[in-house]
Amino acid sequence: VVKIGKVPIGGRAFTVIAGPCAVETRDQTRNTAEAVKAAGAAALRAGAYKPRTSPYGFQGHGREGLAILKEVSEETGLPFVTEVMDTADVDAVAQAADAIQIGARNMQNFALLRAVGQTNKPVLLKRGLSAKIEELLLAAEYLLAAGNEQVILCERGIRTFETATRNTLDLNAVPYIKQKTHLPVLVDPSHGTGIRDLVIPMSLAAAACGADGLLVEVHEDPAVALSDGAQSLYPQGFRNLMNSLRPVVEAVGRQMA
């Protein structure tokens, strides 16, 4: 069991971490955080540093975004996870956040893995776009070998020949990893599908196949989101997700954190 703030990931708990793809404004972050908290999310997610495919896409607010997240986290009592992309920002992110995310595109950034491995904050390590499970586990090994044993893995979809969905959510990985390691495994159905209407069904499937929780994108108004609006749930959709999830979580012998 790895704890983000006081929130357990692993064991009997099923933990939902939700929030916008990116910190856009203080109000947008606060409104979304309050909505996910009211619906039962245990922790907050949002990016201050955004790895974008295009250099002209919104790159995130950096340190200013971290400060907003810290403020909203204190106001709502939700611990938060946020991504670090650069070794130069590891100290700042480790100081502000309750958990540090290493994103899919940096899963094999070995300098970053070593630097984050030297912090004492939990790490949420996402599977790379084209990474085999073995490569994900070896990336986790970098963190463990550097002395950080608080590692949470995250299946977020892989690139396949299929183009109907943004990625192919590899739920095989969940029970496979749980049989091979002691590390908790989260599923990100937002990036895993890229399609809002698939987020709820794949979340239920993730709970059914043994995931320890979810990382879900929610935006107060996805139509105007600066990134990943098409896969972000509306607050009402997130409430529906949480209501649908509870019976599945209980059916597999887990408890909502």
Least Cβ distance, residue 228 to Mn ion (angstroms): 4
Contacting residue, 109, 187, 228, 257, with Mn ion by CB under 5 A: 228
**Beta pairing partners, 124:** 101, 152
Distance CA 218, CA 196 (A): 10
Q: Are 202 and 192 in contact (CB under 8 A)?
A: yes
Least Cβ distance, residue 247 to Mn ion (angstroms): 28
Contacting residue, 2, 4, 21, 66, with Mn ion by CB under 5 A: 21
The amino acid sitting at 220 is: E
Of 16-24, 103-111, 115-123, 158-166, the segment contacting Mn ion by CB under 5 A is 16-24
Of 121-129, 148-156, 174-182, 227-235, the segment contacting Mn ion by CB under 5 A is 227-235
101-193-173 Cα angle (round to 5): 65
The CB-nearest residue to Mn ion is 21
Helix (H/G/I), strand (E/B), else coil: 9: strand
Residue 188 makes contact with Mn ion by CB under 5 A:
no
Q: Are 24 and 6 in contact (CB under 8 A)?
A: no
Q: Cβ closer to Mn ion: 21 or 100?
A: 21
**Beta pairing partners, 172:** none
Count of residues near Mn ion by CB under 5 A:
2
Q: Cβ closer to Mn ion: 21 or 66?
A: 21
Of 15-23, 73-81, 115-123, 145-153, the segment contacting Mn ion by CB under 5 A is 15-23
Binders of Mn ion among residues 113 to 172 (CB under 5 A) are none
Distance CA 1, CA 11 (A): 6
Of 57-65, 80-88, 102-110, 226-234, the segment contacting Mn ion by CB under 5 A is 226-234
What residues contact 54, with CB distance under 8 A and at least 6 apart? none
Q: Are 63 and 48 in contact (CB under 8 A)?
A: yes
User: Footprint of Mn ion on this chain (CB under 5 A)?
Assistant: 21, 228
